[in-house]
């Protein structure tokens, strides 16, 4: 069933992907400006090149929510070769967007933008250092294909941190990934999810078989695909010869004071919450002692993400790319 959403871009919008040509003409990543990437997310100057692209783009233009499936057929249509290729590419290439990038996992999402700030005194570097402030683009998504209340939804927040407050400055971004429970839970609100860079597997046994097959394919590119280090964020804005210092775990959670709503689809929930609150605030917490997303102790708040834009778009779902940091 297709759900409708507001096409208004509100002011005041994990997984491995499959795609083709990168936005850069060379294979060397030189960085992007916030404005370049956000223009892609907003579908600025986008023109579909194929019938398939045109059909997908029309869903967004007509104001409907796409429902991209995640199942054995959609993920393994050509066996595990494509997923292995995608995993290798996304752990080795840093491009911030592609001409086309259908996501095999986490295909349904909503994009957000704002500012990243570290306010506490920390021993870390880059965009985790004391006083670090930069622009931010994120994507809130679900791990599988289920998007509405009463379905098992694994909520994820992928982040792209720009080490600058100038929206037109070209910089190398720092990417990170967080999820609450890989196989999903019956949590009613995405705004109540606590996500970490080493999520729980969960107890949704209906997807365990598919999950194990996916994990086997991903390990071809990364021996520990369930853990995403913060290396890129801790290195963002630094010179290559400088030593990077980072925490092991990060936890994101929405400030409790913000007003919630009861939209059935998590994407509409984010859009309406942005409208009602004027901004969404995610707390940034770090730890070197626990990966438990629900632990009361062991986490230290170091900053926050203030989001003031949200959008559901073709560029968000089919072009935006978050490169996957991995352990060396």
Asked if 110 contacts 271 with a C-beta cutoff of 8 angstroms, the reply is yes
Q: Is the pLDDT of residue 301 over 90?
A: yes
- In this prediction, residue 52 carries a pLDDT of 94
Task: Write out pLDDT tens, residues 198-246.
Answer: 999 877 766 667 666 666 665 755 666 678 999 999 999 999 889 999 9
Q: Is the pLDDT of residue 23 over 60?
A: no
Percentage of the chain beyond pLDDT 90 is 69
Q: Domain residue spans in the chain?
A: 14-318
Look at 42-51, 77-86, 158-167 and tell me which has the smallest mean pLDDT.
77-86
* pLDDT-based confidence at residue 193 (cuts at 50, 70, 90): very high
Q: Which of 20, 76, 71 is nearest to 216 (CA)?
A: 76
- Claim: this prediction has a pTM higher than 0.85: yes
Percentage of the chain beyond pLDDT 70 is 78
Query: 103 vs 95, which has greater pLDDT?
Result: 95
Task: Write out pLDDT tens, residues 33-70.
Answer: 999 999 999 999 999 999 999 999 999 999 999 999 88
Q: Which two tokens stand for residue 239?
A: 């010179």
Map tokens 């203030």 to a residue.
306
SS3 285: strand
Q: Is the pLDDT of residue 72 over 90?
A: no
Cα dist. 109→64, 229, 283, 313 in Å?
Answer: 13, 22, 20, 9
Q: Is the pLDDT of residue 7 over 60?
A: no
Class of domain 14-318: mainly beta
DSSP-derived secondary structure for 74-138: HHSEEEEHHHHHHHHHHHH---SBBS---BSSS-SEEEEEEEEEE-S--S--GGGSTT-EEEEEE
Cα dist. 43→60, 126, 129 in Å?
Answer: 10, 30, 33
Q: Is the pLDDT of residue 26 over 70?
A: no
């Amino acid at each position: 069933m297709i759900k409708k959403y507001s096409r208004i871009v509100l002011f005041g919008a994990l997984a491995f992907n499959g795609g083709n040509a990168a936005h850069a003409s060379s294979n060397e990543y030189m960085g992007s400006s916030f404005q370049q990437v956000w223009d892609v997310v907003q579908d600025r100057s986008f023109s579909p090149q194929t019938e398939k692209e045109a059909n997908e783009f029309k869903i967004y233009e007509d104001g409907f929510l796409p429902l991209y499936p995640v199942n054995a057929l959609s993920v393994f249509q050509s066996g595990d070769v494509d997923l292995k290729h995608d995993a290798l590419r996304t752990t080795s290439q840093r491009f911030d967007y592609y001409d086309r990038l259908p996501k095999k996992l986490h295909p349904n999402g909503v994009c957000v933008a704002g500012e990243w700030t570290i306010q506490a005194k920390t021993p870390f570097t880059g965009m985790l250092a004391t006083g670090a402030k930069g622009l931010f683009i994120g994507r809130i998504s679900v791990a599988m294909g289920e998007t509405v209340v009463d379905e098992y939804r694994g909520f994820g927040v992928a982040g792209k941190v720009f080490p600058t407050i100038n929206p037109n400055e070209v910089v190398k971004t720092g990417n990170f990934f967080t999820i609450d429970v890989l196989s999903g839970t019956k949590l009613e609100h995405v705004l109540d999810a606590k996500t970490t860079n080493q999520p729980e597997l969960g107890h949704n046994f209906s997807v365990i078989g598919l999950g194990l097959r996916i994990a086997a394919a991903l390990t071809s590119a990364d021996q520990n695909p369930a853990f995403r280090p913060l290396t890129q964020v801790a290195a963002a804005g630094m010179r290559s010869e400088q030593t990077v210092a980072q925490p092991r775990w990060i936890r994101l959670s929405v400030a409790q004071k913000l007003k919630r709503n009861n939209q059935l689809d998590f994407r509409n929930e984010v859009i309406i919450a942005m409208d009602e609150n004027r901004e969404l605030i995610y707390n940034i917490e770090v730890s070197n002692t626990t990966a438990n997303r629900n632990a009361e102790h062991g986490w230290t708040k170091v900053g926050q993400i203030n989001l003031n834009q949200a959008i559901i778009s073709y560029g968000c779902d089919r072009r935006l790319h978050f490169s996957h940091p991995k352990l060396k």
